[in-house]
Amino acid sequence: MYNAVESEQLVMIRDSAREFAKIYIKPYIMEWDEAQFFPIDLFKKLGDYGFMGIVVPTEYGGAGLSYQEYITILDEISQVCGSIGLSIAAHNSLCTNHILSFANEEQKHKYLPKLATADWIGAWGLTEASSGSDAGGMMTTGIQDGDYWIINGSKTFITHAISGDVAVVMVRTGDKNDKHGMTAFIIEKGTPGFTSGKKLDKLGMRASETASLFFDNCRVHKDQVIGKVGNGFVQALKLLDGGRISIAALSLGIARGAYKCALKYANEREQFNQKIYNFQDVSFTIADIATKIEASELLIRKAGYLKDNNLKVTKEGAMAKLYASEVAVEASNQAVQILGGYGFTKDYPAEKFFRDAKLCTIGEGTSAIQKMVISREIKKDVY
């Protein structure tokens, strides 16, 4: 089981991520948020630090770190800005990890060094306007034409759809709702017939770019297929098991950032000739959130341990994502409440944590989907 005592390397990684966030992210978070600006130059710098290829082995140009370090990096970055944490998570756990986990060696050596250094930004496409949780009903199709596949359709709610240099896209190459009827393709920016839509205007995570992808008779060579034709859906499900650890770690950071904001304010704000932390309602609320944050981290660390040891993580990843994301929403809501009127203004970070947190209960499977996954897994425990 995971050892809660941090290694020297983990402490060093935590300090590095914390310092990075303090210097390169914190001064600009509201500027980026207001403008919905996706800071590509920042991600190039994140690449220099090894934060864009965290679990990618060094032979492919990555940092070669474990999921424990990955969790720590996302936690620290997201305590400062959930948007940046989200983009790091999407790039690492979806596009990059799909290629790492299922591509052939030629594909890995071609794409991973560029992705791990942020020379290229990655996107990943599964969701469509008419098929969110019901991925089996996707409408984007691929028809084989000799050595090429002709792809038509669209994907929506895609992180880095505009700025991404390469995307891993799930395409229906068989019958609807056939789990072996989908195929994963690597599609590079600039491929004829492959375009992106306008940036979505979002409630939160505003500095993390989100848009649609469009395919109009897009011809993709068969060499761009990841794994076998028809294995895309199975690959995606396995990938999402680990991806939920990413969203859980993102949630952890947002919750911790909101908690620190509330704790600091409660120890500074005076009412009735005393710090408001002295009021039991305030201190008990903060104590409750602190406890739930600790519980979140233990769930996430356990899932990370299983992932690092190549053990099944379906149930534990879903549990970590479900719990941590709901705690992030609760923590940020309570932070706004404790700050009162100030919590409702953009002069304090509480309102941004509040806006960013909600996405964590939706992305990579809603809370209801997590409960469905968990309930299916625990049913197997009956004996």
Q: Per the residue annotation, which of 76, 209, 316, 364 is the catalytic one?
A: 364
Query: In the 8-state DSSP scheme, what is residue 81?
Result: -
Q: Which tokens is 109 given?
A: 């050596």
Q: Which residues contact 264 (CB under 8 A, 6 or more apart)?
A: none
Give 35: exposed, middle or buried? Use CB within 10 Å, 0-12, 13-18, 19+.
exposed
364 a catalytic residue: yes
Triad 65, 324, 201: Cα angle to 5°: 90
Distance CA 45, CA 340 (A): 37
DSSP E strands in the chain: the ranges are 122-125, 141-145, 148-159, 166-172, 182-188, 194-196, 210-221, 225-226, 270-271, 274-275
Question: How many other C-beta atoms can be found within 10 angstroms of the C-beta atom of residue 70?
Answer: 26
**Cβ contact 320:302 at 8 Å:** yes
- Two structure tokens written together for 157: 């709610």
The three-class DSSP label of residue 188 is strand
Beta bridge partners of 172: 141, 182
Question: Annotated catalytic sites, by residue?
Answer: 364
